[in-house]
Structure 1
């Protein structure tokens, strides 16, 4: 069921409930008012008949004749009068006695002074009437024909109005829901035109501050992120293909040359060494890509725990020295640092990958293959500086240094794939930290800043 139809039906149902409650309240109030009003009329009629009987000189036969004449044109009130001994002293029509008063009923009237009740369709009132120091029980009964006709008419009008208004409300609901959701229908038409090849398309937005315009703006923002992601993915895949093609082509070329003619043992060993070196480069590249994939996970899916940064730095220091005996790395930690200042919430594996890249990068581009690591604190910020002496990075290249697969002219003389610093930045940002780089006067410094509590 469409939202428009569902909203219309829901709106109609709520209106029907409210209208039904309102109509029932009106009918019930009118019913109660009719009942009370007619009891009041019966009381007035009972008093008038009693006054006429006791205080006027009109004979009883004339009162009977008057009653019978009135019953021909309207529902006349039938009145009966009893004395204290429960003896009937007057009745409008004893032959057609509506109430048929019993001693128990008369006793109740004398005791309570006034009673009211229904007798089939008749309303009956019993009351005590006083005349010349004596008490009499007077009953009056009649059928409220006009009142019931009024209620029937009111009920008929209410039912007709109820269904008529519901039909009008339903039609109005269809019109209003169609008008209110027409922008949403236009959005659906526009969304159907957006495909993987047309991610540049956007939904139309207005200056209105309503929910639909907010939805369109957020949807456009999502499309913007998807388009950037697709473009990055295409660029990423293209660069990976290029990086993998180079060592594979070198391995194939070397093996083809080795298979074309007989060579000496030394020449075969040299060819194998070249192929192994290219294979190792491929392994490094694949490891970097795996680390990059892990760093690109949803942060909610990466496990974080309390870790000590000095221990991770020491592990990275040991690993780099072990794999590259020619590297010289020094680790200097400020003496005033307390243990809790070195503890953060993070992922040990990813941070070690980041530190390994920074240490390896510093040693690789230093003529003496040296890297100095300094750990200091300043204003609730833990700063880790990776410094190397050597050729400075041109200022034009510094703004691109963290881009994937980017390699400056000065770095092309060393082996690499342009993934390390891009991966490092992603890991640092994943830990809500910051990484910056300055390069001047033959000195390059990468600084990682962690906020400590």
Structure 2
């Protein structure tokens, strides 16, 4: 998860949680007030019933029931019971509703004076009342349908507003964070474009800016300047040393050749081995020089070249060097009909070196000396596939193949410098091409995307 998404998530959770707590407090407060208000209404109902029953002589049970039935403050699903001091029932309202009461409830009223409890959807309130030095007990049961409907409505409104607030908070936070971190995205994009071919690239900064990203960019540019200086010193050192080594090696090679000519007809294994070692050193020096020059992208002249023509030139040189090589070359028919598809912007010489190295590599590590080369098109992109059969290189082949002086386990018994594929990678990357490797079913495949 990115920092952008983390900040958005945590901010949304914080504000949504805070709003949820406020909403919960409002709903619980309203529920408490509703219960207290209904309790007060039940208390008034109980006291009114007892007073009418005991203090107004004209009111008997039947009349009191009529009054209850037509009261403007009639409670929903209401039932009222009145008991004397001996717990005898002296009044029961005309209602089919039943109150599940026990003697223990009346005993509780006698000691506590009142109680309030819930039973299903109904709420029951009991009260003790003293009249003419006699104790009377009233129990009223009713359902606060109106108050509960208001509570349900409030809860619905709170839930809907919470969901809207959650969505609005997330969108607002994400938009705000995305806008504020946009310079960081640009910083990341610019850094990702810096490599050994673009090491001198500088990040764009604003003068006198106090923005943390700009300050970081300034420090990064200064760090890259120091790295570039060291990198250029190393590159120049490699180039100078390679040039200086070529002269003594040429002299040594010439002397060995003279010795071999003088001993014509005589088998001298030592001198021949020395010549092979000198040739390998020359190849290493030339490769180092090529890598050094290939780091200087601005000095490479590009031209329009045809992939197939460069391959044919590479084939000619490879077949002269390795007589037993077998190359199976094919071009997709749709590409043959439009030759312009084979044209790319690159350097003919460098591209030839890259292709030669790949074909040579496929030949050297093939178990049957056969190399299959195919040019085809996929998703409107030109591809070049080079395949050979042989044993696996290593589990982490992708990580070591294109690094200098790194060799796979299948190359332990063969001669090589471990720098050929590095040169291939550098050349192709220089022209904006990419190369990948895949191994499956005993087949090695290098795939170049132009």
State TM-score, norm by structure 2: 0.51
Tell me the residue number matched to 1:188.
Answer: 188
* Kept after mapping to 1: 8 A contact 2:75/2:142: no
Tell me the residue number matched to 2:46.
Answer: 46
Tell me the residue number matched to 1:226.
Answer: 227
Q: Secondary structure at 1:70's aligned position in 2?
A: coil
Shift of 1:159: 1.6
Q: Secondary structure at 1:172's aligned position in 2?
A: helix
Tell me the residue number matched to 2:324.
Answer: none
* Kept after mapping to 2: 8 A contact 1:45/1:77: no
* Kept after mapping to 2: 8 A contact 1:42/1:77: no
Q: Secondary structure at 2:125's aligned position in 1?
A: strand
Q: Which shifted more, 77-86 or 138-147? A: 77-86
Q: Secondary structure at 1:129's aligned position in 2?
A: strand
Q: Secondary structure at 1:215's aligned position in 2?
A: helix
Tell me the residue number matched to 1:342.
Answer: none
Q: Secondary structure at 1:85's aligned position in 2?
A: coil
> 1:165 aligned to 2:182?
no
Q: Secondary structure at 1:116's aligned position in 2?
A: strand
Shift of 1:257: 8.8
Q: Secondary structure at 1:59's aligned position in 2?
A: coil
Tell me the residue number matched to 1:200.
Answer: 200
Tell me the residue number matched to 1:36.
Answer: 36
The structure with the largest alpha-carbon Rg is: 1
Shift of 1:75: 2.6
Shift of 1:217: 3.0
Q: Secondary structure at 1:232's aligned position in 2?
A: helix
d(CA) in 2 for partners of 1:243, 1:27: 87
d(CA) in 2 for partners of 1:117, 1:33: 15
Q: Secondary structure at 2:70's aligned position in 1?
A: helix
d(CA) in 1 for partners of 2:47, 2:154: 31
* Kept after mapping to 1: 8 A contact 2:129/2:137: yes
Tell me the residue number matched to 1:67.
Answer: 68
* Kept after mapping to 2: 8 A contact 1:80/1:139: yes
- The change in CA–CA distance for 1:253 and 1:67 in structure 2 (over 3 A counts) is same
Tell me the residue number matched to 1:85.
Answer: 86
Tell me the residue number matched to 1:122.
Answer: 122
- The change in CA–CA distance for 1:72 and 1:261 in structure 2 (over 3 A counts) is closer
* Kept after mapping to 1: 8 A contact 2:75/2:143: no
Tell me the residue number matched to 1:440.
Answer: none
d(CA) in 2 for partners of 1:27, 1:184: 43
d(CA) in 2 for partners of 1:115, 1:144: 17
d(CA) in 1 for partners of 2:30, 2:262: 116
Tell me the residue number matched to 2:104.
Answer: 104
RMSD: 3.4
What is the CA deviation profile of residues 52-96 of structure 1, one whole-angstrom value per residue up to 9, with x for unaligned ones?
A: 333334412332111111379653754322112111122332x53
* Kept after mapping to 2: 8 A contact 1:27/1:151: yes
* Kept after mapping to 2: 8 A contact 1:75/1:145: yes
Tell me the residue number matched to 1:290.
Answer: none
What is the CA deviation profile of residues 123-166 of structure 1, one whole-angstrom value per residue up to 9, with x for unaligned ones?
A: 11112111122211121222112210111101110121122122
Tell me the residue number matched to 1:240.
Answer: 241
- The change in CA–CA distance for 1:72 and 1:54 in structure 2 (over 3 A counts) is closer
* Kept after mapping to 1: 8 A contact 2:117/2:123: yes
Tell me the residue number matched to 1:265.
Answer: none
d(CA) in 2 for partners of 1:167, 1:236: 60
Tell me the residue number matched to 2:286.
Answer: none
Q: Residues 35-434 of structure 1: matches in 2 within 5 Å? A: 35-60=35-60, 61-70=62-71, 75=76, 78-93=79-94, 95-206=95-206, 207-245=208-246, 248=249
d(CA) in 2 for partners of 1:159, 1:126: 35
- The change in CA–CA distance for 1:208 and 1:45 in structure 2 (over 3 A counts) is farther
> What is the number of residues matched between the two proteins?
263
d(CA) in 2 for partners of 1:164, 1:86: 56
Shift of 1:216: 2.1
d(CA) in 2 for partners of 1:58, 1:227: 111
* Kept after mapping to 2: 8 A contact 1:99/1:119: no
- The change in CA–CA distance for 1:119 and 1:9 in structure 2 (over 3 A counts) is same
d(CA) in 1 for partners of 2:28, 2:43: 23
d(CA) in 1 for partners of 2:181, 2:192: 17
- The change in CA–CA distance for 1:115 and 1:259 in structure 2 (over 3 A counts) is closer
State TM-score, norm by structure 1: 0.51
* Kept after mapping to 2: 8 A contact 1:70/1:76: no
Tell me the residue number matched to 1:350.
Answer: none
